[in-house]
Amino acid sequence: MFNFKLVAAERVSILEDFQSFLIKRGINYEEDVTKNHIQDYIIEKRSQSGEIKNIINVIHQYFHAAKNDFLSFEAGAHLDSDWHYRRISELAKNELGEDVWRQVFGHVQMPEIGWTLDELASFTRQMYQDLSKVASPEQIQNIMHNHAHGSDVSHYSELRDVLKAKGIDGLLKHMCDDLIQSMEECHAKGELWWATEVDEDVINYLKKNPLIYRDGNKIINKKVLCLPKRYLNETDEKMKRYYACHCSLKRQSILQDEGGLSNSLCYCCLGYDKKQFEAAFGRELTGRVLQSVMDEGCLECIFEIDIPNETLNVFPNVMVINMPKFRAISSGWQMEDDLYNGEDCFYGWIIKRKHLHKEAFLGSTEFFIDSQMDVHGAANGLLFAVHDDVTASDAAPYEIMDIKGGLYAALWCPAGNLELEDMMYPTIMKWVENSKFEHDTDRPLLAQIIFPGSEAEEALGYSQFQRYIPIKLRAE
């Protein structure tokens, strides 16, 4: 029945024993094995407490090697449930305090490796009912959210660079494309994708139904289906919901007479999925469960994650402005210390000559020459707009530049937020690439700070840093 070459030699005896168990029950072919057969075998063997984890692991690994994602998942669901419950218990104690915690967890037998999925779902149902008597829905959600499977986010580190380079919409598209690409590679090699089987139907479904997208100031994140191939081929609503769910602690509740559990328990999956976005944005994010397959009639889990307000100030609001032409005295490229410090620094020199200054745009005299496209190392350039009658001798030892004005693509963010300032240039350029404009390389990139030291700055709590990229209509 079984291909014993798929397991290590020292584990063949366990597989042989499982095969004997099946044959005694009239099961002679591997394709006839069901999750109930696995569960019955585990029940028979779990009294051998010292071996049960090894037994389950062998069955789990065998069906994984045999590329049977369903039976592999069903066996594996018995492996780590005891850890999950211990972790939830610890978090409940932290959230509610020890006295309240004792009312829920103080006198119960915690699940152990080898408990059936029905037993786990029933325990979770009772745990939730007991928690609901002493905790608010928000507290239960916090407990589950903070569990988040204890996930490691180090493998998401590259998303931060993607966000900086491509902006929010580019990041979300990258994540969807990366998911599909990895599925296509596994399908081409005949391998499971993250322990689940995928085929052309699954891949095409995800291409037509993106899991991640932006809705205004929210990221909508649909949970990737646990067993997508079975899900797409299933017509029964309960079984579709079952195949969508990843959670071994409550998945079986969908098939129980009492129905699925509260979606407050799904905040664990929200916390897990949210970590990839937190890695990209470099901060904690807020979110919520919009719907879950625990809810009758819902065929997928959908989470909503809030985009930080200060990031939204940068990404969606590229605008086109028409800047007037003006003349300006230029510092040339200098190191920052040289620009602002010392008796002979440019900034000190130009401030002493305020009679030369002229407001050029948005009430501002001072501009930065943006070095994003130039190779100047850490050098900076300052421009101060001056009256039309200022002469070269007035500007000496510096030079006068003629700023041509014209169309610019612009973004702003709170001044001093260096992380957001760094994101602005690639965000504008990405917008330009997808517009009817192109970068006009004959004019300099500019930047300025709006409202420094003003009542507006006091009211807002910050000055606005604005970055301008010169553009022109794209040539046909």
Contact 392, 400 (CB under 8 A): yes
For CA atoms 319, 324, 330, 332, the dihedral sign is positive
Contact 81, 248 (CB under 8 A): yes
C-alpha–C-alpha distance, residues 230 and 226, integer Å: 9
Radius of gyration in angstroms for the set of CA atoms belonging to the chain, rounded to a whole number: 31
pLDDT of 376 higher than 50: no
Residues present in the chain in total: 476
Kindly state the tokens that stand for 284. Answer: 């904690």
Residues of the chain with CATH 3.20.80.10: 319-473
Give the chain's count of helices (H) and strands (E): 19, 13
- Mark out the alpha helices in 190-234 (DSSP H runs): 200-208, 228-233
pLDDT of 33 higher than 60: yes
Contact 316, 207 (CB under 8 A): no
Mean pLDDT of all residues in 411-417: 82
The model's pLDDT over 419-428, given as tens digits with 9 standing for 90+, comes to 677 778 888 8
C-alpha–C-alpha distance, residues 180 and 350, integer Å: 56
C-alpha–C-alpha distance, residues 104 and 140, integer Å: 12
To the question of domain 319-473 being in CATH 3.20.80.10, the answer is yes
Please give the C-alpha separations between residue 235 and each of 200, 202, 206, 242, in angstroms, as whole numbers: 19, 15, 18, 12
Of 59, 69, 6, nearest to 198 (Cα)? 69
Please give the C-alpha separations between residue 411 and each of 275, 403, 448, 464, in angstroms, as whole numbers: 28, 19, 11, 10
Residue given tokens 């919009």 in the structure block: 290
The model's pLDDT over 170-216, given as tens digits with 9 standing for 90+, comes to 889 899 999 999 999 999 999 889 889 999 999 999 999 999 998 87
Q: Is 312 helix (H, G, I), strand (E, B) or coil?
A: helix
- Mark out the alpha helices in 66-157 (DSSP H runs): 69-76, 81-96, 98-105, 117-134, 137-147
Regarding pTM above 0.75, the answer is no
DSSP character at residue 30: G
Indicate left, alpha or beta for 15 from its phi (over 0: left) and psi (-120 to 50: alpha). alpha
The model's pLDDT over 63-92, given as tens digits with 9 standing for 90+, comes to 888 888 889 888 888 887 888 899 999 999
Identity of the residue numbered 92? A
Q: What is the pLDDT of residue 374?
A: 42
- Mark out the alpha helices in 346-417 (DSSP H runs): 346-351, 392-395
